[in-house]
Amino acid sequence: MMVDDRAALRAACTAGTGLCTIVGIEGSFSRRLGAQLAVATDGSVTGSLADGCLERQLAAEILAGGERRVMRFGAGSPLIDFRLPCGSGLDVLVDPAPDRAACAAAVDLLDRRGEASLPLPLGLLGVRRYIPALRLVLFGEGPELEALAMLGRAAGLEVETHSKDGSGDLSLGRAPSDIAVDRWSAVILLFHDHEWEQAILQWALATPAFFIGAQGGRTARDERAERLRHAGVAESEIARIASPIGVVPHSREPMPLALSILAAVVGEYEAIHPHALLRTPS
């Protein structure tokens, strides 16, 4: 399952739960700047920062109470009995009592698919940014649609499907309605009957979706592009459509195709994800 960097924030809204945030990394480490871990009063954790040893150490620090503080772990740490993989060093903000109102406000924004931020205490640590979860908006038919929807849900993504196979929510030649698409959404078309694509693609190109893709071979791609040009769609907009779709060339079976598409979409999402903390002006 994809790591949900909003899960620890949501847990931190609960009274008594502490919040740990990586605010500095020296060397190589398996998580990014801003990764978070929440620790409940019973010592259970939400989130993941390493292999379990760091989580246990941070849980102990939170349960010990005290003031919020930045602690060094690994290289350069006074905790000589505690080591991190690869000789790395981490600076972690340990906050036994985060601002719960600020956490709840950020969660509310994220639940409405807005972007949010959480100011971090102790001076110039900056703010932690959050973005909505990756969302797949799928249109199509048959086993390819089913396979991609299944994989997306198994990965913990938000998945919305619209099928021409008897669902009644798609009409040939008519643009979709009542479907919200934001810049953290991917729109993917998986039709064998490519005449269904035109209205959907023109609608999708008018949205801020970060990824728009459509399956089909060379002939289908050429005919699709020509139909869009004839409808007055600019070349720059046609170029937004990923086709062939996915990272594996010539995928034909439903499951390999779904894996190939999901890898491409997640890669694009990670590329635009603002993982780092934003520093406040000095």
Rounded to the nearest angstrom, the gap between the alpha carbon of residue 81 and the centroid of all alpha carbons in its chain is 35
**pTM > 0.85:** yes
Task: HSE, CB side, 13 Å, CA atoms: give it for residue 112.
Answer: 7
pLDDT of residue 171: 79
Per-residue confidence band for 174, with pLDDT thresholds at 50, 70 and 90: confident
Task: Name the one residue in this structure whose structure tokens are 């000589």.
Answer: 80
Residue spans per domain, the chain: 7-132, 135-271
State the architecture of 135-271 in CATH terms: 3-Layer(aba) Sandwich (3.40)
Beta bridge partners of 128: 118
Q: How many angstroms separate the CA atoms of 219 and 36, rounded?
A: 47
Tens digit of pLDDT for each residue in 43-97?
999 988 877 788 998 999 999 988 999 999 887 778 766 777 667 888 999 999 9
Quickly list H helices, 94-233. 100-111, 142-154, 197-205, 218-230
| Range in 64-73, 119-128, 268-277 with the lowest mean pLDDT | 119-128
Percent residues over pLDDT 90 in the chain = 64
Could you tell me the end-to-end alpha-carbon distance of the chain, in angstroms, rounded to an integer?
38
For the cut 60, the answer to whether the pLDDT of residue 3 exceeds it is no
Beta strands 185-190; 211-214: pairing state: parallel
